[in-house]
Amino acid sequence: MKLAMIGTGYVGLVSGVCFSDFGHAVTCVDKQAAKITALDAGQVPIYEPGLDDLLARNVAAGRLSFTLDLAAALKGADAVFIGVGTPTRRGDGHADLTYVYAAAREIAHAMDGYTVVVTKSTVPVGTNREVARIIAEEVPGAQFDVVSNPEFLREGAAIEDFMRPDRIVVGVESERAQEVMAEIYRPLSLREAPIVWTGLESAEMIKYAANAFLATKITFINEIAALCEKTGADVQAVAKGMGMDGRIGNKFLHAGPGYGGSCFPKDTSALARIGQEHAAPQRIVETVIAVNEATKRAMVDKVLDLCGDSVAGQKVAVLGVTFKPNTDDMRDAPALTIVPALIGRGARVHVVDPQGQREGAALLPGVVWDDDPYEAARDAAAVVLLTEWNEFRGLDLARLAGVMATPRLADLRNVFSPEAAREAGFAYVSVGRPAA
């Protein structure tokens, strides 16, 4: 198949590269010349484990290319995927569909015969019908079908998720378009990946409902963690006991400083807004959003309590600022709430993150970036573990405590046991667990 992918951000680039690895001829399109030049040179603009090697392999095989020219990419294409951003719109919390609709207009004038127009971006219910309306209005008589094919990629594990998905969701309304989509995903049928064929609205809703449910699981266990701290229970034991129930499952039951990233914050916000617009308020989702923000702020209080309620003039080392490990994504990361709050209280914050500085340098003004956690902790009054990178899981706690002015550790990901931290000499707090 010949495919075009509009957008070389996270969704578009990962999807385009993986489709090319299926054996399809894929052309990725972007408006930013610098981005296309970098990709042509093999430079990947995002950090995703394994993506650079996969990209290079498929470029070398002649299956993957990059261009600024949409018309050239669409010449003879069987399908074009819209993989542009849908950020939260300022003011009302809705998804900003500016880029999606702009892509639809450009596709209308660039299509070369019958084309399946596939929306990969996360979009509110009704968006695909509007995409179809826009194309038909721009070019009356155009031959096309619109398909909703939302992505379910975890940052840090996106290639594995694409190649071995739990399911593929395809919202489609014509047999011809369904045949095209079946052929595009045929390589996965050999792995028996299930395809959920549904209508446009259902496909759009599946994406939002899935992300909102996962965000709810995270927020639920964080509220339980706060209760565990008051009652002497251990949230890790509670989560284990819950997760062994097959109806619940153990994923997304890890207490911490709240969810962030490119999906959960904007998708829960958009779903709440969709509910309001359709007079079907999503009360649970609205509460999840509020509780998640409160959880982030509560982490600041936890650090301050550990430090005797004051960090003024003191050095604080923060380990990890990306919203999760194995990504450079800083969008809505808990660090964006916690670190500025510590600086606002007078702390001198030193940060270590394997991939976070590229985005974090602009988002966290006033911090000092270090490469080594022990150097960042030297003469510090506290260490705050915010992102559970593997580099931090293996820290020598005794060595870390030994270089600090006051050995205090706020382990906001429950990486270490309270007993091990105490034995190393730390005053220690974690999330939802009793003191050692």
Residue numbers annotated as active site: 263
Distance CA 334, CA 338 (A): 6
Question: Of 64, 22, 50, 204, whose CA–CA distance to 120 is shortest?
Answer: 204
Q: How far is C-alpha 41 from the chain's CA centre?
A: 26
Question: Of 71, 78, 85, whose CA–CA distance to 145 is shortest?
Answer: 78
User: Residue-wise over 331-340: b if at least 16 C-beta within 10 A, else e?
Assistant: bbbbbbbbbb
3-class SS of residue 389 = coil
Written as one string, the DSSP assignment of 280-293 is ---HHHHHHHHHHH
Determine what percent of the chain falls in helix, strand and coil, rounding each to the nearest 5. 45, 15, 40
Tell me the residue type at 206. Answer: I
Beta-carbon contacts of 434 under 8 Å, excluding residues fewer than 6 positions away, are 228, 229, 232, 233, 234, 418
| CA distance to 80, 81, 126, 179, 270, per residue, from 134 (Å) | 15, 16, 13, 24, 22
Q: What is the DSSP letter of 129?
A: H
Beta-carbon contacts of 334 under 8 Å, excluding residues fewer than 6 positions away, are 256, 257, 258, 260, 296, 299, 323, 386, 412
